[in-house]
Structure 1
Amino acid sequence: MDDALPLPGQLSGTHLLDAAVSYARWRHWEVLPGTWLEADAGGAPRCSCASAACPSPGAHPARADWAVRASGSASEVRRMWDRQPRASVLLATGRGFDVLEVPESAGCHALARTERMDVDLGPVIAAPTGRMAFFVLPGARAKAPGLLAALGWPPGALDLTVRGEGDWVAAPPTRMGRGGRAQWVRRPTAANRWLPDIGALLSPLAYACGRAAAEARAVR
Protein backbone atom coordinates (compact mmCIF):
# COMPACT_ATOMS: atom_id res chain seq x y z
CA MET A 1 0.00 0.00 0.00
CA ASP A 2 1.25 3.52 -0.81
CA ASP A 3 0.56 4.80 2.68
CA ALA A 4 2.34 1.90 4.38
CA LEU A 5 5.42 2.82 6.39
CA PRO A 6 8.54 0.78 7.06
CA LEU A 7 9.44 -0.54 10.45
CA PRO A 8 12.58 0.94 12.06
CA GLY A 9 15.61 -0.37 10.22
CA GLN A 10 13.71 -1.33 7.07
CA LEU A 11 15.45 1.40 5.10
CA SER A 12 18.95 0.55 6.28
CA GLY A 13 19.89 -2.19 3.80
CA THR A 14 23.30 -2.17 2.20
CA HIS A 15 22.02 -2.84 -1.31
CA LEU A 16 21.86 0.36 -3.35
CA LEU A 17 18.89 -0.74 -5.46
CA ASP A 18 16.82 -1.81 -2.44
CA ALA A 19 17.56 1.43 -0.63
CA ALA A 20 16.75 3.61 -3.63
CA VAL A 21 13.44 1.83 -4.26
CA SER A 22 12.53 1.98 -0.57
CA TYR A 23 13.00 5.74 -0.38
CA ALA A 24 10.64 6.23 -3.32
CA ARG A 25 8.09 3.62 -2.23
CA TRP A 26 7.85 4.38 1.47
CA ARG A 27 8.59 8.11 1.64
CA HIS A 28 7.84 9.21 -1.92
CA TRP A 29 11.17 11.03 -1.97
CA GLU A 30 12.55 11.91 -5.40
CA VAL A 31 15.57 9.69 -6.01
CA LEU A 32 18.28 10.01 -8.62
CA PRO A 33 21.29 7.90 -9.54
CA GLY A 34 24.68 9.44 -8.96
CA THR A 35 28.27 8.64 -9.79
CA TRP A 36 30.04 5.71 -8.15
CA LEU A 37 33.51 4.72 -7.04
CA GLU A 38 35.90 2.78 -9.23
CA ALA A 39 39.42 1.55 -8.54
CA ASP A 40 42.29 3.34 -10.27
CA ALA A 41 45.42 1.60 -11.53
CA GLY A 42 46.80 1.47 -7.99
CA GLY A 43 43.58 0.15 -6.47
CA ALA A 44 42.60 3.45 -4.86
CA PRO A 45 38.97 4.61 -5.18
CA ARG A 46 38.20 7.30 -7.72
CA CYS A 47 34.96 8.84 -8.95
CA SER A 48 33.36 7.41 -12.07
CA CYS A 49 33.25 10.97 -13.47
CA ALA A 50 37.03 10.55 -14.04
CA SER A 51 37.88 13.98 -12.62
CA ALA A 52 41.02 13.82 -10.49
CA ALA A 53 39.80 16.89 -8.60
CA CYS A 54 36.23 15.68 -8.04
CA PRO A 55 34.94 17.40 -4.85
CA SER A 56 32.35 14.68 -4.13
CA PRO A 57 33.83 11.40 -5.37
CA GLY A 58 31.18 8.76 -5.88
CA ALA A 59 28.36 10.97 -4.62
CA HIS A 60 27.17 13.57 -7.12
CA PRO A 61 24.72 13.51 -10.05
CA ALA A 62 26.04 11.59 -13.03
CA ARG A 63 24.21 13.75 -15.58
CA ALA A 64 23.58 17.46 -16.05
CA ASP A 65 19.83 16.84 -16.47
CA TRP A 66 19.55 15.08 -13.10
CA ALA A 67 16.80 17.42 -11.86
CA VAL A 68 14.32 16.22 -14.49
CA ARG A 69 15.35 12.56 -14.10
CA ALA A 70 14.83 12.36 -10.33
CA SER A 71 11.75 10.27 -9.60
CA GLY A 72 9.51 9.34 -6.71
CA SER A 73 8.17 6.32 -8.61
CA ALA A 74 9.49 3.05 -7.20
CA SER A 75 9.19 1.33 -10.59
CA GLU A 76 11.09 4.10 -12.39
CA VAL A 77 13.78 4.11 -9.69
CA ARG A 78 14.17 0.36 -10.11
CA ARG A 79 14.63 0.82 -13.86
CA MET A 80 17.32 3.44 -13.27
CA TRP A 81 19.34 1.17 -10.98
CA ASP A 82 18.82 -1.83 -13.23
CA ARG A 83 20.67 0.19 -15.88
CA GLN A 84 23.48 1.18 -13.49
CA PRO A 85 23.46 -0.88 -10.27
CA ARG A 86 26.62 0.78 -8.93
CA ALA A 87 25.11 4.28 -8.94
CA SER A 88 25.12 6.15 -5.65
CA VAL A 89 21.74 6.97 -4.12
CA LEU A 90 20.99 10.68 -4.14
CA LEU A 91 17.83 12.41 -2.91
CA ALA A 92 16.64 15.64 -4.52
CA THR A 93 16.09 18.35 -1.93
CA GLY A 94 13.55 21.16 -2.18
CA ARG A 95 10.70 18.84 -3.11
CA GLY A 96 9.66 16.41 -0.37
CA PHE A 97 12.09 17.97 2.10
CA ASP A 98 14.92 20.45 2.60
CA VAL A 99 18.09 19.72 4.55
CA LEU A 100 19.98 21.68 7.21
CA GLU A 101 23.61 20.61 6.95
CA VAL A 102 26.09 21.29 9.76
CA PRO A 103 29.46 19.98 10.98
CA GLU A 104 29.23 16.63 12.76
CA SER A 105 30.37 18.08 16.11
CA ALA A 106 27.62 20.69 15.99
CA GLY A 107 25.10 18.10 14.82
CA CYS A 108 25.81 15.77 17.74
CA HIS A 109 25.49 18.65 20.20
CA ALA A 110 22.23 19.74 18.57
CA LEU A 111 20.83 16.20 18.81
CA ALA A 112 21.45 16.17 22.57
CA ARG A 113 19.99 19.67 22.91
CA THR A 114 16.84 18.86 20.94
CA GLU A 115 16.29 15.78 23.09
CA ARG A 116 16.37 17.93 26.23
CA MET A 117 14.03 20.44 24.57
CA ASP A 118 11.69 17.62 23.45
CA VAL A 119 11.89 18.79 19.82
CA ASP A 120 10.51 16.34 17.26
CA LEU A 121 13.13 15.48 14.67
CA GLY A 122 12.94 14.09 11.17
CA PRO A 123 15.51 11.75 9.67
CA VAL A 124 19.18 12.67 10.12
CA ILE A 125 22.13 11.53 7.98
CA ALA A 126 25.80 11.45 9.00
CA ALA A 127 28.21 11.60 6.06
CA PRO A 128 31.82 10.36 6.21
CA THR A 129 32.80 13.89 5.17
CA GLY A 130 32.14 15.01 8.74
CA ARG A 131 28.77 16.62 8.02
CA MET A 132 25.27 15.88 9.31
CA ALA A 133 22.02 16.52 7.44
CA PHE A 134 18.75 17.24 9.28
CA PHE A 135 15.58 16.79 7.22
CA VAL A 136 12.96 19.56 7.47
CA LEU A 137 9.92 20.68 5.51
CA PRO A 138 10.49 22.23 2.06
CA GLY A 139 10.84 26.01 1.96
CA ALA A 140 13.60 26.16 4.56
CA ARG A 141 16.06 27.94 2.27
CA ALA A 142 13.76 30.94 1.86
CA LYS A 143 13.04 31.17 5.58
CA ALA A 144 16.59 30.67 6.89
CA PRO A 145 18.06 34.18 6.41
CA GLY A 146 15.23 35.91 8.26
CA LEU A 147 15.17 33.37 11.07
CA LEU A 148 18.94 33.54 11.56
CA ALA A 149 18.82 37.34 11.59
CA ALA A 150 16.10 37.22 14.25
CA LEU A 151 18.40 34.97 16.32
CA GLY A 152 21.21 37.52 15.98
CA TRP A 153 23.36 35.67 13.43
CA PRO A 154 24.61 37.74 10.47
CA PRO A 155 24.91 36.13 7.01
CA GLY A 156 27.85 33.74 6.75
CA ALA A 157 28.53 33.68 10.48
CA LEU A 158 27.71 29.99 10.88
CA ASP A 159 28.83 26.84 9.12
CA LEU A 160 25.23 25.93 8.33
CA THR A 161 24.07 25.14 4.81
CA VAL A 162 20.45 24.88 3.70
CA ARG A 163 19.93 22.52 0.77
CA GLY A 164 16.71 23.15 -1.13
CA GLU A 165 15.46 23.25 -4.72
CA GLY A 166 18.20 22.41 -7.21
CA ASP A 167 20.35 20.51 -4.73
CA TRP A 168 20.69 16.98 -3.37
CA VAL A 169 21.92 14.92 -0.46
CA ALA A 170 23.71 11.56 -0.59
CA ALA A 171 21.61 8.89 1.13
CA PRO A 172 22.67 5.66 2.87
CA PRO A 173 24.22 3.32 1.89
CA THR A 174 26.12 5.52 -0.58
CA ARG A 175 29.89 5.24 -0.28
CA MET A 176 31.63 8.61 -0.38
CA GLY A 177 35.32 8.63 -1.29
CA ARG A 178 37.74 6.99 1.13
CA GLY A 179 35.76 7.95 4.20
CA GLY A 180 33.08 5.26 4.15
CA ARG A 181 29.33 5.27 3.69
CA ALA A 182 26.59 7.73 4.55
CA GLN A 183 24.65 6.42 7.54
CA TRP A 184 21.36 7.15 9.25
CA VAL A 185 21.70 8.71 12.69
CA ARG A 186 17.90 8.79 12.84
CA ARG A 187 16.30 6.46 10.33
CA PRO A 188 13.12 7.21 8.37
CA THR A 189 10.32 5.61 10.39
CA ALA A 190 6.59 5.96 10.88
CA ALA A 191 7.26 8.20 13.86
CA ASN A 192 9.14 10.83 11.85
CA ARG A 193 7.16 10.69 8.62
CA TRP A 194 5.92 14.23 9.30
CA LEU A 195 8.93 16.53 9.11
CA PRO A 196 9.55 19.51 11.38
CA ASP A 197 9.58 23.07 10.10
CA ILE A 198 12.94 24.85 10.02
CA GLY A 199 11.74 27.12 12.84
CA ALA A 200 11.72 24.19 15.27
CA LEU A 201 15.33 23.20 14.56
CA LEU A 202 17.21 26.32 13.55
CA SER A 203 17.73 27.72 17.04
CA PRO A 204 19.42 24.60 18.53
CA LEU A 205 21.41 24.03 15.33
CA ALA A 206 22.58 27.64 15.18
CA TYR A 207 23.53 27.55 18.86
CA ALA A 208 25.49 24.33 18.32
CA CYS A 209 27.28 25.73 15.25
CA GLY A 210 28.17 28.91 17.13
CA ARG A 211 29.50 26.92 20.07
CA ALA A 212 31.55 24.66 17.79
CA ALA A 213 33.07 27.69 16.06
CA ALA A 214 33.93 29.31 19.41
CA GLU A 215 35.59 26.12 20.64
CA ALA A 216 37.61 25.86 17.42
CA ARG A 217 38.84 29.45 17.84
CA ALA A 218 39.79 28.78 21.46
CA VAL A 219 41.92 25.79 20.42
CA ARG A 220 43.84 27.95 17.98
Structure 2
Amino acid sequence: MNDTTTGTEAAQIPGQRGETLLDTAVRYAEQRHWDVLSGTWLVAKEGVERCSCADTRCSAPGAHPTRPDWAAQATGSAVVARAQWSEQPTASVLLPTGRAFDAVDVPETAGFLALARMERMEVTLGPVTRTPDRRMQFFVLPGTGAKVPFLVRRLGWDPAAIDLTVRGEGGFLAAPPTRVGAGGAVQWVRRPTAANRWLPDADELTGPLAYACGQETRDRRA
Protein backbone atom coordinates (compact mmCIF):
# COMPACT_ATOMS: atom_id res chain seq x y z
CA MET A 1 0.00 0.00 0.00
CA ASN A 2 1.20 3.49 -0.79
CA ASP A 3 0.45 5.88 2.08
CA THR A 4 1.03 8.88 -0.18
CA THR A 5 -2.00 8.28 -2.37
CA THR A 6 -5.02 10.47 -1.86
CA GLY A 7 -8.36 9.54 -0.32
CA THR A 8 -9.42 7.78 2.84
CA GLU A 9 -7.67 4.56 1.81
CA ALA A 10 -4.32 6.34 2.03
CA ALA A 11 -4.92 7.10 5.68
CA GLN A 12 -4.90 3.40 6.58
CA ILE A 13 -1.83 2.67 8.69
CA PRO A 14 -0.45 -0.89 8.93
CA GLY A 15 -0.55 -2.25 12.46
CA GLN A 16 -3.27 0.12 13.61
CA ARG A 17 -6.15 -2.35 13.22
CA GLY A 18 -7.34 -0.73 10.02
CA GLU A 19 -8.12 2.61 11.62
CA THR A 20 -7.80 5.72 9.48
CA LEU A 21 -6.10 8.84 10.77
CA LEU A 22 -9.58 10.37 10.88
CA ASP A 23 -10.85 7.52 13.09
CA THR A 24 -7.86 7.90 15.39
CA ALA A 25 -8.18 11.67 15.75
CA VAL A 26 -11.89 11.39 16.50
CA ARG A 27 -11.20 8.66 19.06
CA TYR A 28 -8.62 10.82 20.84
CA ALA A 29 -11.15 13.66 21.06
CA GLU A 30 -14.11 11.49 22.07
CA GLN A 31 -12.52 8.96 24.41
CA ARG A 32 -9.60 10.88 25.92
CA HIS A 33 -10.97 14.42 25.60
CA TRP A 34 -7.69 15.54 24.04
CA ASP A 35 -7.52 18.52 21.72
CA VAL A 36 -6.35 17.42 18.28
CA LEU A 37 -4.94 19.27 15.30
CA SER A 38 -4.58 18.19 11.68
CA GLY A 39 -1.03 18.97 10.57
CA THR A 40 1.07 18.56 7.47
CA TRP A 41 1.25 15.30 5.52
CA LEU A 42 3.65 13.39 3.30
CA VAL A 43 3.53 13.66 -0.48
CA ALA A 44 5.48 11.63 -3.04
CA LYS A 45 7.62 13.66 -5.40
CA GLU A 46 10.09 12.05 -7.80
CA GLY A 47 10.00 8.87 -5.77
CA VAL A 48 10.76 10.64 -2.50
CA GLU A 49 8.30 11.40 0.29
CA ARG A 50 8.44 15.05 1.23
CA CYS A 51 6.51 17.27 3.61
CA SER A 52 3.46 19.06 2.26
CA CYS A 53 5.00 22.31 3.51
CA ALA A 54 7.38 22.07 0.49
CA ASP A 55 10.45 22.83 2.61
CA THR A 56 13.09 20.33 1.46
CA ARG A 57 14.94 20.86 4.76
CA CYS A 58 11.85 20.32 6.92
CA SER A 59 12.93 18.90 10.28
CA ALA A 60 9.66 17.04 10.89
CA PRO A 61 8.30 16.10 7.46
CA GLY A 62 4.60 15.35 7.59
CA ALA A 63 4.32 16.00 11.32
CA HIS A 64 4.01 19.69 12.18
CA PRO A 65 1.30 22.41 12.09
CA THR A 66 0.37 23.95 8.77
CA ARG A 67 0.05 27.53 10.02
CA PRO A 68 1.47 29.86 12.69
CA ASP A 69 -1.87 30.21 14.50
CA TRP A 70 -2.22 26.45 14.86
CA ALA A 71 -3.06 26.64 18.57
CA ALA A 72 -6.37 28.33 17.77
CA GLN A 73 -7.20 25.60 15.25
CA ALA A 74 -6.82 22.70 17.68
CA THR A 75 -10.15 21.25 18.73
CA GLY A 76 -11.63 18.97 21.33
CA SER A 77 -14.76 18.48 19.22
CA ALA A 78 -15.07 15.14 17.48
CA VAL A 79 -17.35 16.77 14.91
CA VAL A 80 -14.77 19.42 14.02
CA ALA A 81 -11.98 16.83 14.02
CA ARG A 82 -13.96 14.68 11.60
CA ALA A 83 -14.35 17.68 9.29
CA GLN A 84 -10.64 18.51 9.44
CA TRP A 85 -9.48 15.01 8.47
CA SER A 86 -12.28 14.55 5.95
CA GLU A 87 -10.78 17.52 4.11
CA GLN A 88 -7.28 16.02 4.22
CA PRO A 89 -7.35 12.32 5.20
CA THR A 90 -3.56 11.91 5.28
CA ALA A 91 -2.91 14.88 7.60
CA SER A 92 -0.81 14.11 10.65
CA VAL A 93 -2.48 13.87 14.06
CA LEU A 94 -0.98 16.45 16.41
CA LEU A 95 -1.75 16.85 20.12
CA PRO A 96 -1.19 20.25 21.77
CA THR A 97 0.64 19.95 25.08
CA GLY A 98 -0.13 22.04 28.15
CA ARG A 99 -3.86 21.39 27.85
CA ALA A 100 -4.94 17.86 28.77
CA PHE A 101 -1.35 16.83 29.48
CA ASP A 102 2.32 17.82 29.46
CA ALA A 103 4.97 15.42 28.18
CA VAL A 104 8.44 14.66 29.53
CA ASP A 105 10.69 14.03 26.51
CA VAL A 106 13.78 11.80 26.82
CA PRO A 107 16.04 9.68 24.57
CA GLU A 108 14.66 6.24 23.78
CA THR A 109 17.45 4.33 25.54
CA ALA A 110 16.95 6.31 28.74
CA GLY A 111 13.18 6.06 28.40
CA PHE A 112 13.16 2.27 28.24
CA LEU A 113 15.62 2.04 31.14
CA ALA A 114 13.44 4.31 33.27
CA LEU A 115 10.26 2.55 32.17
CA ALA A 116 11.55 -0.83 33.32
CA ARG A 117 12.60 0.64 36.64
CA MET A 118 9.24 2.39 37.19
CA GLU A 119 7.34 -0.79 36.35
CA ARG A 120 9.35 -2.68 38.99
CA MET A 121 8.58 0.11 41.46
CA GLU A 122 4.91 -0.01 40.44
CA VAL A 123 4.92 3.71 39.63
CA THR A 124 1.66 4.95 38.15
CA LEU A 125 2.23 5.72 34.48
CA GLY A 126 0.24 7.46 31.80
CA PRO A 127 0.52 6.91 28.06
CA VAL A 128 4.01 6.85 26.56
CA THR A 129 4.97 7.39 22.92
CA ARG A 130 8.05 6.49 20.89
CA THR A 131 9.05 8.54 17.85
CA PRO A 132 11.02 7.52 14.73
CA ASP A 133 13.91 9.75 15.82
CA ARG A 134 14.26 7.59 18.93
CA ARG A 135 12.65 9.81 21.53
CA MET A 136 10.05 8.88 24.13
CA GLN A 137 7.38 11.11 25.64
CA PHE A 138 5.83 10.34 29.02
CA PHE A 139 2.42 11.97 29.54
CA VAL A 140 1.95 13.77 32.86
CA LEU A 141 -0.61 16.13 34.36
CA PRO A 142 -0.83 19.50 32.59
CA GLY A 143 1.15 22.20 34.34
CA THR A 144 3.27 19.78 36.35
CA GLY A 145 5.97 19.71 33.71
CA ALA A 146 7.05 23.18 34.78
CA LYS A 147 8.36 21.65 38.00
CA VAL A 148 10.75 19.28 36.25
CA PRO A 149 13.88 21.55 36.14
CA PHE A 150 13.54 22.21 39.88
CA LEU A 151 13.02 18.51 40.59
CA VAL A 152 16.03 17.57 38.49
CA ARG A 153 18.25 20.05 40.35
CA ARG A 154 16.95 18.81 43.68
CA LEU A 155 18.03 15.31 42.66
CA GLY A 156 21.56 16.61 42.05
CA TRP A 157 21.48 16.80 38.26
CA ASP A 158 22.08 19.83 36.08
CA PRO A 159 19.02 20.19 33.79
CA ALA A 160 21.24 21.61 31.05
CA ALA A 161 23.57 18.61 31.21
CA ILE A 162 21.06 15.80 30.71
CA ASP A 163 18.85 15.22 27.68
CA LEU A 164 15.49 15.69 29.38
CA THR A 165 12.98 18.33 28.30
CA VAL A 166 9.33 19.13 28.89
CA ARG A 167 6.65 19.83 26.32
CA GLY A 168 4.07 22.06 27.93
CA GLU A 169 1.92 25.06 27.07
CA GLY A 170 2.44 26.25 23.52
CA GLY A 171 3.96 22.96 22.36
CA PHE A 172 2.68 19.89 20.57
CA LEU A 173 3.63 16.34 19.76
CA ALA A 174 2.84 14.00 16.91
CA ALA A 175 0.50 11.21 17.98
CA PRO A 176 0.39 7.61 16.78
CA PRO A 177 0.02 6.55 14.02
CA THR A 178 1.44 9.71 12.41
CA ARG A 179 4.36 9.06 10.07
CA VAL A 180 7.41 11.32 10.27
CA GLY A 181 9.28 11.38 6.98
CA ALA A 182 10.97 8.16 5.95
CA GLY A 183 11.70 7.19 9.54
CA GLY A 184 8.37 5.49 10.18
CA ALA A 185 5.41 6.12 12.45
CA VAL A 186 5.05 7.37 16.00
CA GLN A 187 4.05 4.41 18.19
CA TRP A 188 2.54 3.80 21.59
CA VAL A 189 4.89 2.20 24.11
CA ARG A 190 2.04 2.35 26.61
CA ARG A 191 -1.31 2.88 24.92
CA PRO A 192 -4.06 5.12 26.34
CA THR A 193 -6.41 2.86 28.29
CA ALA A 194 -9.07 3.20 30.96
CA ALA A 195 -6.40 2.24 33.50
CA ASN A 196 -4.17 5.24 32.70
CA ARG A 197 -6.84 7.85 32.13
CA TRP A 198 -5.69 9.63 35.29
CA LEU A 199 -2.21 10.95 34.61
CA PRO A 200 0.67 11.02 37.08
CA ASP A 201 2.25 14.16 38.46
CA ALA A 202 5.66 14.91 36.95
CA ASP A 203 7.41 14.44 40.29
CA GLU A 204 6.44 10.75 40.26
CA LEU A 205 8.44 10.16 37.07
CA THR A 206 11.22 12.73 37.23
CA GLY A 207 13.54 10.73 39.51
CA PRO A 208 13.77 7.58 37.35
CA LEU A 209 13.84 9.59 34.12
CA ALA A 210 16.56 11.97 35.32
CA TYR A 211 18.65 9.09 36.62
CA ALA A 212 18.37 7.21 33.30
CA CYS A 213 19.20 10.34 31.30
CA GLY A 214 22.16 11.04 33.56
CA GLN A 215 23.45 7.50 33.10
CA GLU A 216 23.13 7.82 29.34
CA THR A 217 25.05 11.11 29.41
CA ARG A 218 27.85 9.52 31.43
CA ASP A 219 28.01 6.50 29.12
CA ARG A 220 28.18 8.74 26.08
CA ARG A 221 31.07 10.72 27.54
CA ALA A 222 32.98 7.64 28.69
Instruction: State the TM-score, normalized to the length of structure 2.
Output: 0.90
Q: Distance in 1 between matches of 2:158 and 2:217?
A: 14
1:111 matched to 2:115: yes
Tell me whether 1:46 sits opposite 2:54 in the alignment.
no
- Is 1:126 paired with 2:120? no
Are residue 95 (structure 1) and residue 121 (structure 2) matched? no
In 1, are the aligned partners of 2:157 and 2:214 still within 8 Å (CA)?
no
Please give the residue correspondences for 1:1-220 in structure 2 after superposition, counting only pairs within 5 Å.
14-41=19-46, 43-218=47-222
Q: 5+ unaligned residues in a row in structure 2: which ranges? A: 1-15
Query: CA 1:12–1:197 in 2, change beyond 3 Å: closer, same or farther?
Result: farther
Structure 1, residues 16-51: CA drift from partner, whole Å, max 9, x if none? Answer: 00110000000000100110111122x111110000
Cα distance, 1:65 vs structure 2: 1.2
5+ residue gaps, structure 1, are 1-10
**Alignment correspondent of 1:8:** none
Letter in 2 for 1:107: G
**One-letter code aligned to 2:219:** E
- 2:143–2:168 Cα contact (<8 Å) kept: yes
Q: In the alignment, what sits opposite 2:11?
A: none
- Whether the aligned pair in 2 keeps the contact of 1:104 and 1:130 (CA below 8 Å) is yes
- Tell me by how many angstroms 1:155 deviates: 3.2
Structure 1 Cα separation of the partners of residues 213 and 201 of structure 2: 19
Report the alpha carbon displacement of residue 12 of structure 1 after superposing the two structures with TM.
6.5
Q: Give 1:63 deviation, angstroms.
A: 1.3
Following superposition, the deviation at residue 201 of structure 1 comes to 0.2
The question of whether the paired residues in 1 share the 8 Å contact of 2:146 and 2:166 is answered with no
8 Å CA contact retained: 2:130, 2:137: yes
Flag the 1:12–1:204 CA change in 2: closer, same or farther, 3 A.
farther
Instruction: Report SS of the residue matched to 1:152.
Output: coil
- TM superposition score normalised by structure 1: 0.91
CA distance in 1, matches of 2:159, 2:113: 22
Contact 2:102–2:168 (CA under 8 A) maintained in structure 1: yes
Deviation at 1:145, TM superposition (A): 1.8
Amino acid of the residue matched to residue 159 of structure 2?
Answer: P
SS at match of 1:100: strand
Cα distance, 1:140 vs. partner?
A: 2.7
Structure 1 runs of 4+ aligned residues shifted over 4 Å read 11-14
> Per the alignment, do residues 14 and 175 of structure 1 end up closer, same or farther by CA in structure 2, a change over 3 Å counting?
farther
Stretch of structure 1 that moved more, 196-205 or 208-217:
208-217
Describe the SS at the equivalent of 2:182. Answer: coil
One-letter code aligned to 1:29: W
CA distance in 2, matches of 1:179, 1:14: 20
Q: Report the alpha carbon displacement of residue 152 of structure 1 after superposing the two structures with TM.
A: 1.1
Identity of aligned pairs, percent? Answer: 62
- Secondary structure of 2:189's counterpart equals strand
